[in-house]
Amino acid sequence: MAANTDPGLQNQVIYSIYVRSHTQEGTFLSVIPDLDRIKALGTDIIWFMPIHPIGVQGKKGSLGCPYANRDYRDVNPAYGTMEDFRRLVDAIHQRGMKCIIDVVYNHTSPDSVLYSQHPEWFYKTPEGRPGNKIGDWSDVIDLDYSQRALWDYQIESLCRWAEIVDGFRCDVASFIPVEFWLQAREAVEKVRPGCIWLAESVHRSFGCWARRQGIYSAKDPALYAAFDMEYEYDIREVFDDYLRGKARLSQYLDLLNFQEAVYPDNYNKLRFLENHDQPRIAALVQEESDLVNYTAMLYFLKGTTLLYAGQEFENTHLPSLFEREPFDRHSGHDLSGLLARLHAIKQAFGSSDDFAAAGDDEKDIAIMERSGHEGRFVGVFSLRSRSGEVTLEVPDGSYENRIDGSTVAAREGRLRCEGRPIIFKV
């Protein structure tokens, strides 16, 4: 693990915002009036998807993709000015939250400032033209990190942003040399001590495919040397298969236990039900009671929790990256109160505590336990809202369900689940 990772990140919640689609105006300043509501959800950190100018050449859709970056050192004029962004970050800090921004260092748009100034810093196809190694990413061209001068430029850019923000979410971080990230972390630490580093590590199958094609793709354990958190894509595919009825619950739970066995004690995986690249969870889990169970389980998992704007309103539509589609604040039940309670529960958990999971495949009930600074906690999550008895090792007695204040009773190693999520302290 990175030498100076803050263990407190384990118990925090990140709220992801796409400025273009967060409000009707789609600007930096229009986010400010929403900050108190976002804070009330239990948000500790706000992550802004890319805020930089977007390339025009080869753009997708009518507005282009924010991950086709045209200038690393400026902001998208459609969102406002640099001064507007500073005002937004100040407002976030005034409310006791931190701010991280997306940095897209694997590639730029074909008409980027960097390509116009330094075409020698870019990957060339066998035909000698700028291109990218992943064919579907047709609106970008890849950078070439064998060019050491590129490292200096990119690190200087990070240091400039570190004067304003508290950290970085690094897009497809696996495709960029770990040695670069280590050097960047060391330099940024002098500007922003305690800077937060979140790696978008890639899906296990994607990383394996890339390496077979001769494309550099760092493995998750190696990335931890430079990052505080990384995506849970190493096991995500099995979770997605479970959602679609193609895998058993026990297969997913076994992989959670595998993570616990192979990573350092203080490893931190970013836990999420959805993000801007994944379907909305409410589109996949349509029963309200099931969704509440999934949400409670999300907060119980070991690692930082991610919410994608609109998740609190059970949005089923995933906003396009290429258009402006403000998310719907009236699409489903409002989960805000539940999220705030779950955040409060999360504060009692430890940062490098033991975690274990088991499950009942017949009833689709997950049983998890972890230790915390307040003691040992047990979570029972009925992902199909089925009732039934579960087996668990706790002393006989009555316990308070911290989610809703109800009482649950354990007798002779058995506890009755009525289909609602349960979290209690032993």
Token pair belonging to 331? 């699409």
Predicted pLDDT at 3:
83
Q: Of 288, 300, 306, 272, whose CA–CA distance to 381 is shortest?
A: 300
Mean pLDDT of 51-60: 96
Quick: pLDDT tens for 90-106.
Answer: 999 999 999 999 999 99
How far is the C-alpha of 303 from the C-alpha of 167, rounded, in Å? 17
**Predicted TM-score (pTM) above 0.85:** yes
How far is the C-alpha of 123 from the C-alpha of 143, rounded, in Å? 5
Task: Provide the 8-state DSSP code for 120.
Answer: G
Quick: pLDDT tens for 130-171.
Answer: 999 987 788 999 999 999 999 999 999 999 999 999 999 999
Predicted pLDDT at 137:
85
Q: What is the dihedral of CA 90, 73, 324, 95, to 10 degrees?
A: -10
Of residues 354 and 239, which shows the higher confidence score? 239
Quick: pLDDT tens for 293-318.
Answer: 999 999 999 999 999 999 999 999 99
Predicted pLDDT at 135:
79
